[in-house]
Amino acid sequence: MRPSSPTPHKGVHVWQLMLAEHASSHSLCQSVFSADEQERAARFHFEEHRNDFLIARAFLRTVLGAYLKIEPAAVQFVYNEFGKPSVPAGPENNLFFNLSHSNHVALLAVTRETEVGVDIEQIRSIEPGLAERYFSATEIRALQQLPKDLYQEGFFNCWTRKEAYIKARGKGLSLPLDKFDVSLAPGQPARMLQIRDSDDQASSWQLAHLTPAPGFVGAVAMRSNNLNLTMLNFESF
């Protein structure tokens, strides 16, 4: 569906878009991009990556415009010191969102309730030592205890949940990945286990596991413990 008039909601909407199915759409959406977005797109060396960026931005503007009841081109962004975008504060603009895409699949989390982060990754081969470089000791032990055939899935469960959390916090990689623990075992609920970098309590955070497409995993993080999550497919511009 195209979100022409999303209903007010309690909870989190996660919109999904298959970027490869809209490879030519960015040329139809040129009028919605800001000068900054066009400059950023021009920096991509490969056309494939540039197209993914532009389609994802058109997707972001189209969905947010529908919630804000304005045209996609009229959506304005402000960025915090770590680069996290938001829409300018206002009585009708109580909207939190986060966008992620990986290998032609995009996810956009939108809510009126609380800060939110989303991440998606394609399951793939892992560089040796990567978990030991970034994960906490608790997570490394949990990963090592998995059967070999579940290791990659467990790794990306952990990675997406950690990325979703730091994106929700809005502090980027200034927040060390080994200062908090998440669950990672395939088939087990996504949970925040412990936070050690601040007075934040693990019980204040809700994590949700996503399987947006075969061979992909994703996660949503929100500062809440009782928000409903609704998955929605974005079909056309």
Domain boundaries, the chain: 125-205
Position of tokens 């990689």?
173
Per-residue confidence (pLDDT) for residue 164, from 0 to 100: 97
* Complete edge-to-edge strand list for the sheet that includes strand 229-233: 96-102, 105-111, 12-18, 229-233
The total number of residues shown for the chain amounts to 237
- Considering only the C-alpha atoms of the chain, give the largest distance between any 2 of them, rounded to a whole number of Å: 51
Query: In terms of DSSP H, where are the helices of the chain?
Result: 25-28, 35-42, 47-68, 130-134, 137-144, 151-169
User: What 8-state DSSP symbol labels residue 112?
Assistant: S
Residue 97 sits at φ, ψ, to 5 deg, of -155, 165
Give me the residues paired with residue 107 across strands: 16, 100
Q: What is the pLDDT of residue 91?
A: 63
pLDDT of residue 5: 54
Write down the residue that tokens 């800060």 correspond to: 115
Which residues is 229 bridged to in the sheet?
12
Pick the CATH number of 125-205 from 3.40.50.10190, 1.10.340.30, 3.90.470.20, 3.30.70.920: 3.90.470.20
Q: For each successive 10 residues of the chain (237 residues), what is the average pLDDT?
A: 60 92 68 87 89 92 93 92 87 85 95 95 94 96 97 98 95 84 97 89 95 96 90 86
Q: Return the pLDDT at 92.
A: 65
Q: What is the DSSP string of 155-221?
A: HHHHHHHHHHHHHHHT-GGGS-GGGEEE---TTSPP-EEEE-SSS--GGG-EEEEE--STTEEEEEE
Rounded Cα gap, residues 149 and 16, in angstroms: 28
Contact 191, 184 (CB under 8 A): no
